Structure 1
Amino acid sequence: MGDFRHHIAAFLCAASLAGCIPATPAPPSRPAPAPDFERRSLGEALDVYERPTWTLKSVTTNAVRVNAGVYSVRPGDTLRAVGEMTGAGSEALAIENDLAPPYTLRFGQELSVPAGLYHRVGAGETGIGIAAAYGVDWGEIITINALTDPYILRVGQRLRLPSDARPVPRGPVDIDARAAAFRLNIDDILTGSQPALAEAARPTAGSAAPRPPVTTAIAEPAYFVGRFEWPLNGPILARFGPIAPGRVSDGINIAAAAGTPIRATAGGVVAYAGDQVGIYGGLILINHGGGWVSAYGHAGRIDVKRGQSVRMGDVIGRAGATGQVQTSQLHFQLRKNRIPVDPMKQLPPR
C-alpha cells in the first residue's frame, strides 16, 4: 500500500544509492520457478531469475560546522567563490540573503552567512544516500535547501543538514552496520535517487537497452502521449484511497498469477528497478514525462534496467508476491508531479 503521505524519518542505509549498478551478470537460463514461488522474497525469486539492477554505493561523510557571520564582498568575488570560502555554499547564501539569478555581487555588499552543518556533495552521491548517512529526513533536506524538480545535485554543492543530523566520523559509511536501520518510500526514490552531476554535465537520455545500467542522472522524456493502458488484467484487490483507519493506498492492487507479464502502462524511461523499498519488494518506476510517473510493486521478476526506454505494452517484469503481501499481485500507482492520483480515473474502462 502507499506510503507517500507519511514521510519516513529513517532510511534504508547509510550509503548513497548511486543509480543502477549491476550486481553480477545475469545468470544463464534456470529451471522454472518452484510451485511456492509466490511466497518467496524478491531476493530468492531473483536467484531463479535476474538480480535487481539497483544497488548501494557508499557516501563519504565530510560535513563541516559553519558559524553564523557576515562576509563583506571583495572585488572579483562570485557567489560560488564566497560559498566555498565560508563553507556554507552558494545555494544557502542565496536563500539567506534573498538573492536571485544571475547572483551579481557588489563590492562592499555584506552577506549573512547562515550557521549549520554542511555536507559537500561528491561525484555520484544521491540525496537519499546523504540523508541516510547522517540519519536525517530527506524531505527536510529538500525543504531547508529549497531543492526543486528534477532534484539533481551538483558535485561540490554544499547541502545544509537538519539540526538533528547525527555527528559521524569523516569517511565512508559502513553500509552493513547501518543498513537495517533505514527505510525508503517511492517519493524518496523519485526525488533523491539521481546521482550528482558535475557542473557542465547533462542528464543521460534513455536508451533502448543500456548495458550496463545507467549510473548517471537520467533526463525526463521530452513529451508524454497523454494516455495509459492497463499493466495487466485481473480482479481489483484494493482501490485507491482510505482502506482502514489511518491507512491509505496510493494506488490499486490487481490480482495476478505468479509470472504474469507486467506491461508498461505508457512509454517512458525506467527511473528505478530494484527491491530497496521493502514494502513493495520488486519495484519498477517509469518516468513518462510531463510530470507523470508509474509504479509497479510486488514484482517477482524485473526485466528492465534503470535508464532503459520502454514503449506502451512492453513487458517490464513478472507478477509475484514480494514485499509485504502474501499472494501474487501487482501494486500499481500513477503520480502526477509526485502526487498520487487514482489510476482508475486514468485507465480505460473495462
Structure 2
Amino acid sequence: MRKIFVGILLCSLSACIPPGRDYSWPQNDAANAPVPTLETDASVFGQSPSQAPPPVWTAQPVTPNAVTIDSGTYIVKAGDTLGGIANITGASAQVIAANNDLIAPYVIQPGQQLNITGGRYHRVNGGETGIAIARAYGVPWRDVVALNDLEEPFILRVGQNLMLPAAAPVDPQAMTIEERAAAFDLDIDDIVTGSQPAMAAAGDQPEPSAWRKAIAEKKTPKAIATPAAFTGRFNWPLEGKLLSSFGSKGGGKVNDGLNIGVVKGTPIKAAADGVVAYSGDEIGVFGGLILINHGDGWVTAYGHADKLHVTRGQKIAAGDIIGLAGDSGYVQEPQLHFEIRKNRKPVNPVSHLPKRT
C-alpha cells in the first residue's frame, strides 16, 4: 500500500496510513494533494464544553546531536548508581539493565562488571517528546521504544540517554527539516506512546536556557493525567451514514475503526469521560485529530475534524462537544474516523457502542 508522507515543522507530528491499513472510502490522490490544514476558530476554541486551559507544556526543538560510544565493560565502584553509570558511559540505563539481567530496583555491587552496549545515544532535554526525538533522527519511534525497553506510561526523563537505531538512511545533521519529515512516519499508536514531554527527574536541576525560560513562563511539561479507571460505557460520537466498517477489507487491508459520513460542521461528542491526550492537525492522513484517554488502557480517536474545541490535558465528560466534523486529511467528503483502542490495540467500536436503531 502506498505510504503517505507529510512534511511539517520540527517538533510537530507527521503521520501516514499504517502499512496494511485501508479505510475503503474515496480518498484524494495523496501524491498530488496539498498538505492539509485545519481551520481553528479562536472565537470558539475551548468554549465548548468549557473554556479550554492553556497548553500544559511548550514543545522544545530537538537537535540531532547523538553521541556514538563503543561497547565495553564498566566495573562498579562504591556509591555508583545505574543512572550515574549511564551518565558516565553515555549509554542508556534501561539498555544497561536489560543487557545485564538487572531487575528493579537495580541493585548493583562494588566490583560488579557490567556490559556496556555501544551505539548512538541521544541525551533527552527538557520539553522533548519521544516523537520529536525520533523525527529529528528520521527513525521510527516504535524502534526506539523497542531498543530502550520502554514501558507504559512511556515518560522520558531529562538527562536520560536514548539508544537510537544503528544507522539512519542519511545523516540527520545533513538533512533539512523537510527531508527529515519526509523520511518519518507515525501511526496512532506512536502518538499514544511518544507524545508525552520529558519530565525532570527527582532532584534534577534543568540547565538548558529554553527549559529555564519555560519554567519562568510556568509552561513546564506535565504528563497527561491518566484517569484512574474506566467504569462507564462508550456512546456514539455522532450520528451518520456508515462509510466504512471495522476490520479486514480484503487484500490484506484493514480499517482500524469506523468512518461515519456527516454534514460538515456536525458536532463531535466525546464517547466517554476522559482526558485529552492529543489535539491537533499535524497528522496528514487524519487531518484534525483528537485522542482521549479514558483509563484502564482505553483510548478513543476522532479524525478528519474541521475544528477542534479542546486542548491537550483537558478533562472531558461523556457527551461534551470536542470539535466539529469535516473533511480534513485525505478524504473527499465530510466524515468522522472513529477508533476505540484497548491497551493500544484497535477493537471493533460496534462491540462497545449501543445498538443503533
Scaled by the length of structure 1, what TM-score is found?
A: 0.81
- Output the CA distance in 1 between the equivalents of 2:147 and 2:4: 16
SS of the equivalent of 2:104 reads coil
1:245 aligns with 2:248: no
Output the amino acid matched with 1:16: C
Residues 44 and 229 (structure 1), Cα distance of their counterparts in 2 relative to 1, 3 Å cut: closer
CA deviation after TM superposition for structure 1 residue 156, in Å? 0.7
In the alignment, structure 1 residue 167 sits paired with structure 2 residue 161: no
* Counterpart for residue 136 of structure 1: 139
Q: Which residue of 1 aligns with 2:19?
A: none
C-alpha displacement of 1:217: 1.9
* 1:58 alignment partner, SS class: coil
Kindly indicate whether the alpha-carbon contact (under 8 Å) linking 2:246 and 2:256 is maintained by their aligned counterparts in 1. yes
* Deviation larger for 236-245 or 175-184: 175-184
Q: Does 1:183 align with 2:185?
A: yes
Q: What is the CA distance between 1:44 and its match in structure 2? A: 5.6
Q: Match for residue 194 of structure 1? A: 196
Aligned-pair CA distance for 1:49: 7.1
**1:305 CA displacement:** 0.6
Number of equivalent positions = 313
The CA distance in 2 between the partners of 1:228 and 1:142, in whole Å, is: 30
Q: Does 1:43 align with 2:52?
A: no
1:168 to partner: Cα distance: 3.7
Equivalent residues of 1:256, 1:328 under 8 A apart: yes
In structure 2, distance between residues paired with 1:82 and 1:9: 41
Shift of 1:82: 1.1
Shift, 1:178, TM fit: 3.8
What is the distance in 2 between the residues matched to 1:266 and 1:140? Answer: 32
Q: Where in structure 2 are there 5+ consecutive unaligned residues?
A: 14-32, 47-53, 204-217
Letter in 1 for 2:184: F
Where 1:81 maps in the other structure, the secondary structure is helix
| Contact persistence 1:271–1:286 (CA under 8 A) | yes
Residue in structure 1 matched with residue 10 of structure 2 by the alignment: 15
> Are the counterparts in 1 of residues 6 and 284 from structure 2 also a CA contact under 8 Å?
no
- 2:126 aligned with 1:120: no
**Shift in alpha-carbon separation, 1:151–1:291, aligned structure 2, 3 A:** same
Verify the 8 A CA contact 1:49 1:301 in the aligned structure 2: no
Q: 1:79 offset after TM fit, Å?
A: 1.3
Contact 1:15–1:58 (CA<8 Å) still a contact in 2?
yes
Give the equivalent residue in structure 1 for 2:51. none
Deviation for aligned residue 1:147: 0.6
CA distance in 2, matches of 1:345, 1:148: 28
Do the aligned residues in 1 keep the contact of 2:300 with 2:339 (CA within 8 Å)?
yes
* Alignment correspondent of 1:94: 97
Is the contact made by 1:228 and 1:347 (CA closer than 8 Å) also made in structure 2? yes
Q: Deviations over 1:211-252 (max 9, x none)?
A: x99953212111212311110011111100112423210000
Contact 1:124 1:216 in 2 (8 A): no
The reply to whether residue 304 of structure 1 matches residue 304 of structure 2 is no
- Determine if contact 2:5/2:184 at 8 Å carries over to the other structure: yes
Query: Deviations for 1:137-164, whole angstroms, at most 9, x for unmatched residues?
Result: 1111111111111111111111010112
- Give the Cα–Cα distance (whole angstroms) in 2 for the partners of residues 274 and 233 of structure 1: 23
Q: CA RMSD for the aligned pairs?
A: 3.1
Residue 174 of structure 1 and its aligned partner are, at CA, apart by 5.7
Q: 1:107 to 1:89 in 2, by over 3 A?
A: same
Q: Aligned letter for 2:276?
A: V
Question: What secondary structure sits across from 1:316 in the alignment?
Answer: strand
Query: Which of 291, 304, 308 matches 1:285?
Result: 291
Q: Deviations over 1:9-33 (max 9, x none)?
A: 9885573359xxxxxxxxxxxxxxx
Match of 1:264 among 262, 266, 270: 270
Secondary structure of the corresponding residue to residue 60 of structure 1: coil
Corresponding residue number in structure 2 for 1:75: 78
**Whole-Å separation in 2 of the counterparts to 1:118 and 1:277:** 27
Where do residues 228-239 of structure 1 align in structure 2 (5 Å cutoff)? 228-239=234-245
Change beyond 3 A, Cα 1:279–1:49: farther
Residues 227, 266 of structure 1: 8 Å contact kept: yes
- Please give the per-residue CA displacement for 1:290-312, whole angstroms capped at 9, x wherever unaligned: 10000000111111111100100
Any gaps of 5 or more consecutive residues in structure 1?
19-38, 202-211
Counterpart of 1:158?
161
Shift of 1:108: 1.0
Contact 2:38–2:288, Cα closer than 8 Å, also in 1: no
Give 3-state SS (helix, strand or coil) of 2:283's partner.
coil
1:7-62 CA distance string (max 9 Å, x none): x89885573359xxxxxxxxxxxxxxxxxxxx998626336977899996420222
Give the aligned partner of residue 339 of structure 2.
Answer: 333
Contact 2:11/2:61 (<8 A) preserved = yes
